[in-house]
Amino acid sequence: MARPSSRPVGTVTRGTTNPNRLRRMDRWIAAVHGPALRSATPYDSAPRAAAAPVAVDLGYGAAPWTAVELLHRLRTAAPATQVVGIEIDPARVAAAAPYETDGLTFAHGGFELPLPGERRPALIRAANVLRQYDEEQVAGVWERLRARLAPGGLLVEGTCDEIGRRHVWVALGPEGPRTVTFATRLGSLERPSDLAERLPKALIHRNVPGEPVHAFLRDFDRAWAAAAPYAAYGARQRWIRAVADLTADWPVVDRRGRWRQGEVTVAWEALAPRG
C-alpha cells in the first residue's frame, strides 16, 4: 500500500457506506466517461505496464464496498482500468487491505492523492466527502483535485442518500466544472425538488430564491406537475416528459437514453451560484 511522505490533506469523514450506494454515479461514469477511459494513455514517461487508466475512489469510508463496485463497473466499459481507494483514516486502509485484488489497491492519504510513481488519475470520484466541509472550502478542494487529473480526466463530486436512491453530482474537467447531474429512483420520487437535500456542498446552501439552482428545481417541479397525465404510463414516462419540457428553458446536455435511467444533466453555468 502506497503511503504519503507527509500528513494527508483533509479530515476524516463519518465513513458511512452501504453496498450499491453509488451505483447511479458509477453507471453514469461508465456510460459517459467510458470512452475516455478506454483511450487513456500513459502520463509522461510511464512505462507501458503502467499505461492502464487509474480511477481514484476518494474517501471510500469505513468499508471498501464502493471501491470494489467501482472497479467492476468501470471494467465493463474499460477493461484495463485500475482503481485505487484512498482514505485518510489509516485504520480503514488496513481494514480494506484483504479486499485488494488485480486492479484494486488501497492507500492512506487525502486530497493530495498519493499514487505510485506520481501517476495522474483519469478519474477521481469523491462521493459524500465534501458534505462536512464549509461551502467556502469547496472551490479550493476542487482546484487541488483537478490539478491532479490526467489530460482528459474527470472529477465527479457529489452527495447521495444512505441507500443511493437520490444523488446529485458535479462533473469537472481539468479546466473546471462542466455539468450537474440529478439522478433518482423514480418509484420513490414525489417531486423533483426532493433531490434538493442531496445537492453537493457547492449548491446546497444556494437553494434559495434568486439562485439558479432554486429556479431550476422550481421549474422542474412545475414540469413534473404538468406531466402528471403521463403517470398513467409509469414514473419513467412522466420523468421523460418533464425533462423534455425543461429543455425549452434550461441547457439539458444529455438525451432520452439517460433520462430513462432517472437522470438529467444540466450545464454547470446554468446552475452555478451567483456572487
**Is the Cα torsion angle 126, 127, 129, 134 positive or negative in sign?**
positive
Predicted local distance difference test score (pLDDT) of residue 1: 41
3-state DSSP assignment of residue 181: strand
Phi, psi values for residue 56, rounded to 5°: -105, 130
Residue 48 grid coordinates: 507501458
Could you tell me which of 199, 74, 71, 223 has the C-alpha nearest to residue 130?
199
Residue identified by cell 439539458 is 252
Q: In this structure, are residues 156 and 124 in contact, taking their beta carbons and an 8 Å threshold? A: yes
The neighbour count for residue 257, using CB atoms within 10 Å, is: 9
| Residues whose CB is less than 8 angstroms from the CB of residue 7 and which lie 6 or more positions away in sequence, other chains included | none
Predicted local distance difference test score (pLDDT) of residue 45: 42
Predicted local distance difference test score (pLDDT) of residue 7: 83
- In the chain, where are the structural domains located? 23-174, 186-249
Predicted local distance difference test score (pLDDT) of residue 15: 64
User: What is the mean pLDDT of each successive set of 10 residues along the chain, which is 275 residues long?
Assistant: 62 79 97 90 46 93 95 96 96 97 96 90 96 95 97 96 96 97 96 98 98 98 98 98 98 97 98 93
Outline where 88-151 has alpha helix (H).
90-96, 135-148
Could you tell me which of 201, 180, 196, 212 has the C-alpha nearest to residue 135?
201
For residue 76, give Cα distances in angstroms to 28, 41, 54, 81, 102: 12, 18, 15, 10, 15
Length of the chain: 275
Predicted local distance difference test score (pLDDT) of residue 4: 43
pTM: 0.93
3-state DSSP assignment of residue 15: coil
Side by side, the strands of the sheet bearing 154-160 are 104-108, 82-87, 54-58, 123-127, 154-160, 166-173, 176-184, 263-267
The neighbour count for residue 185, using CB atoms within 10 Å, is: 15
Helices 212-226, 235-246: inter-axial angle, 10-degree rounding: 130
Alpha carbon distance 261, 86 (integer Å)? 29
What is the domain class of 23-174 according to CATH? Answer: alpha beta
